[in-house]
Structure 1
Amino acid sequence: MSTHNVHAPPGGVHASPGAGEHPNTILIRDGYIAFAKGDMEIIRSLLHERVVHRVLGRGPLCGEYRTPTEVLGFYVRVFELSGGTFRSEPYAVMAGDDYAVALVHTYAERPGKVLDGRAVNVFRIEDGRITEIRTLAEDQYADDAFWS
């Protein structure tokens, strides 16, 4: 059983947005809310036509997903493999004009396995849409083993 127990700090992005919050922080937060609801239409609207999602590591889901269709297909596959248990909940989101970073708590279950850890998602943003996502797990070996 591949398990690592790491819990996100309390608070996080569930707090009310600040008055001076960068628009890209809101864009990324909205994406995570849509992801939690499984709202692929909203997620699709946030992705640029030239989007690429790079999932680092050596597991079966690692690689590059290009185009919104491939990226959404990757998300569907994650939900399928985890029996709908996968969650990626941000506890901190920071953004500027071109980039955003989300620190996330990830959780999922598979028969005989639990994934409970942290990751960093780095986003590149152009014209209000996501052009690149890089996912970096805190414990890449545990992530690779979980999805294998």
Structure 2
Amino acid sequence: MSALESLVRDFYAARDREDWPAVERTLAADVAWHEPGGEDYSGHHHGRDTVLRLLRRMLDVTGGTFHLEPTTFIVTAEHVATNARWSARRGDVQVEGNDLGVFRIADGKIAEAWFYPDGYDPDALTTVFSFGDEQETD
């Protein structure tokens, strides 16, 4: 397994076990995080602290039920692409889908990430991941 794949696997594993110091170690200080769509978490997020707050918030609003399971990894010289299955619940509403994540690695850290979800119910997604207020982006 390449060092790049290992880094992204470490990120997913730390995120799943809510080991935020370990997640922090995988992210560059100036990481750029791109979440498409019109959801409360969508937008361009910059900086490790901002991204960590976003990741924790997504878990918090789902009562800890948001899980991602990467199933496939494709590695190039500086990118790792993953296919992940994800699911989350909020109250009686369950949502699940697929996510293509593309991570750019620089100096042994995740420097940038783009996500492309599909195969989900848009209304359920909005209900489950609603923050109820504005999310910071820049």
Moved over 2 A (4+): 143-148
Residue 112 of structure 1: CA displacement?
2.9
Q: Match for 2:71: what amino acid? A: Y
| Larger relative contact order (CA 8 Å, sep ≥ 6) | 1
8 Å Cα contact 2:98-2:120 kept in structure 1: no
Q: Match for 1:129: what amino acid? A: K
1:29 counterpart residue number: 9
2:57 counterpart residue number: 77
CA RMSD of aligned residues (A): 1.4
1:100 counterpart residue number: 80
* TM-score for the superposition, normalised by structure 1: 0.81
1:60 counterpart residue number: 40
Q: Is structure 2 residue 118 aligned with structure 1 residue 134?
A: no
8 Å Cα contact 2:96-2:120 kept in structure 1: no
1:115 counterpart residue number: 95
Residue 127 of structure 1: CA displacement?
1.1
Residue 140 of structure 1: CA displacement?
6.6
* TM-score for the superposition, normalised by structure 2: 0.86
1:147 counterpart residue number: 129
Residue 98 of structure 1: CA displacement?
0.8
Q: Which moved more, 1:119-128 or 1:132-141?
A: 132-141
CA distance, structure 2, for counterparts of residue 32 and residue 71 of structure 1: 14
Residue 139 of structure 1: CA displacement?
3.9
